[in-house]
Structure 1
Amino acid sequence: MPERVDFDPELHFLTRGYTQRVPPEYFADTDASGIIWQPDVYPEVLSLARKHHRTAIIDLGCGRAGKLAALREQSPDLDIIGVDFGSNIDWCRERLPFGLWLDADLEAATALPLAPEVIARSVVVCSDVLEHLTDPRPAMRLICWLLDRGAACAVLSTPARDKRAGAAHVGPPFNPAHVREWTQAEFRAFVASFPVAIERFELTRSDDGGGGLTTQLVVVTRRGEHR
């Protein structure tokens, strides 16, 4: 018998009755634990950039860009574009001379001030960001905007609630900077509500300290493209 689906489109396809945290704490990317979170996401972004012969990475919600810096060390030919706001983007501008750092509110931005030829040679990443946004739909629309203008693909990651707290935990999340955490079925429904094609949907490591496969990794392309 198929599993009963009771997702609420007005709640970003979370299960009806889920309690979001509004407002969340601002996420200042200052973790000094030495743990690398989502260690496999950015290497996958680089692999996709090489596969599609792209030379620019656009990171929506880049934080303090430690993983972008590691990619740049590995591939000095990459053009790095980081997008964030507040103290995170100020930090990048002050300390990281290699990138273009754009101040943008991902809950409001409808476009980015980038030349069409830059977008057309890019891969987009939005790693563990959507769960921090009170309204994640504008960020998804911005991803669609970038794909429509020629970005090869976008890599999304977010916690898998069913693999962490459990699907029966209906919020708010334990992390005070998270508004919500989706199960895999909920997140697939949320992503599929936008004009994108889901190329891959899988689990990846949450960290390099033995946290297990509890992070969702999704690769999307422009709907209608065949790869």
Structure 2
Amino acid sequence: MRPDTATSRQPIGGPESYFIRNGYRSRDRVEYFLDETDDTVTWQPDVYPYAAARARELGRDVVIDIGCGRAGKLASLAAERSDWSYIGVDYGDNLVWCRDNHPFGEWIEVDLESAERLPIAPGLVRRSLVVCSDMIEHLVNPMPALSLIRGLLMEGSTAAVLSTPARECRSGYDAPGPPRNPSHVREWASDEFRALLQASGFDIRYAGLTRSDDASNGLSTQLLLVGAGATTGEKR
């Protein structure tokens, strides 16, 4: 049975639930996601090409990947655009693997649930576009990571490309949770995630759906382009 993707009887939640509808159950904890696979499926195959196209349009030549994992898709982009600079941000075994196996890029280790800023030179930030691809759903507390991304935008990064599962396309708006994927803490419906981003100080420039993988070609992943919106006391 296909999930109902048209509507929900429940209103969007508030900040205490990260804007997910009432009744949804998130995981309290989740195991570290080790980014390794031996299958031939490419997950979110269109996110990095979309980000590269936006970087070209906006005249940026630095890509900052927040939650890069083992950076396989970033490596594919680097092979195509070797004249650009790449910064991967993650922690633990995934980041160690990047340092040991990728000859390109700068690899920065931070805990994305507690870090307050990233040690990236201001000149690089001002030349950059940020990518955060299907990482936010792995975090028990996503707010520090969103604050890091918005901080980069406030420091001069041109835009951020975000992706995360679209719950309404996978299990329905009113699915009780937790997600079927055991490494996901929670999954947002598209309207919930937009509300979270707007409340976190982002200006949404584009929001739509993209392929989850290149095997099924199903459009069940959210894809967004955001900038830093104004908050109280700031001028646009």
TM-score (norm 2): 0.92
Q: What residue number does 1:71 align with?
A: 77
1:51 matched to 2:57: yes
Amino acid at match of 2:150: C
Offset at residue 24 of structure 1 (A) = 1.0
Is 1:189 matched up with 2:200? no
- The correspondence of residues 90-101 of structure 1 with structure 2, limited to 5 A, is 90-101=96-107
Q: SS of the counterpart of 1:216? A: strand
Secondary structure in 2 matching 1:126: strand
CA contact (8 A) 2:12 2:192 kept: no
- Alpha-carbon distance in 2 for matches of 1:131, 1:150: 26
1:148 aligns with 2:154: yes
Give, in angstroms, the shift of residue 128 of structure 1.
0.3
- Paired position in structure 2 for 1:212: 218
Say whether 1:223 aligns with 2:229: yes
Query: 1-side partners of 2:188 and 2:47: how far apart?
Result: 18
Report the alpha carbon displacement of residue 211 of structure 1 after superposing the two structures with TM.
4.0
Which residue number corresponds to residue 118 of structure 2? 112
1:124 aligns with 2:130: yes
| DSSP-derived class of the 1:48 partner | helix
Query: In percent, how many aligned pairs have the same letter?
Result: 48
Does residue 176 in structure 1 map to residue 182 in structure 2? yes
SS in 2 for 1:14: coil
User: Letter of the aligned partner of 1:98 in structure 2?
Assistant: F
**How far apart are 1:8 and its partner, in Å?**
2.8
Unaligned runs of 5+ in 1: none
Q: Which amino acid aligns with 1:28?
A: L
Q: 1:201 offset after TM fit, Å?
A: 0.5
Unaligned runs of 5+ in 2: 1-7
Matched, 1:9 2:15: yes
CA distance in 1, matches of 2:215, 2:166: 17
Deviation at 1:97, TM superposition (A): 1.6
Structure 2 letter corresponding to 1:184: S
Distance 1:6 1:133 in 2: 20
Structure 2 counterpart of 1:81: 87
- Kindly report structure 1 stretches of 4+ aligned residues shifted beyond 4 Å: none
How many aligned residue pairs are there?
A: 225
* Partner residue, 1:198: 204
Amino acid aligned to 2:151: W
Deviations 1:26-57 (A, max 9, x none): 11000111100000000011001101111100
For the aligned residues, what is the CA RMSD?
1.5
Aligned-residue offset at 1:161? 0.5
Superposed displacement of residue 3, structure 1: 6.1
Letter of the structure 2 residue corresponding to residue 79 of structure 1: S
Asked if 1 retains the 8 angstrom alpha-carbon contact of 2:10 and 2:21, the reply is no
Q: CA deviation at 1:6?
A: 3.9
Name the CA distance, whole Å, in 1 between partners of 2:191 and 2:154. Answer: 26
- Deviation string, structure 1 residues 183-211 (Cα, Å, up to 9, x no partner): 01111111111112100000000000024
8 A Cα contact 2:137 2:187, kept in partner: yes
Residue matched to 2:4:
none
Do 2:162 and 2:223's aligned partners in 1 also have CA atoms closer than 8 Å?
Answer: yes
SS in 1 for 2:188: coil
What is the DSSP-based 3-state SS (H/G/I as helix, E as strand, rest coil) of the residue aligned with 2:64? strand
- Partner of residue 23, structure 1: 29
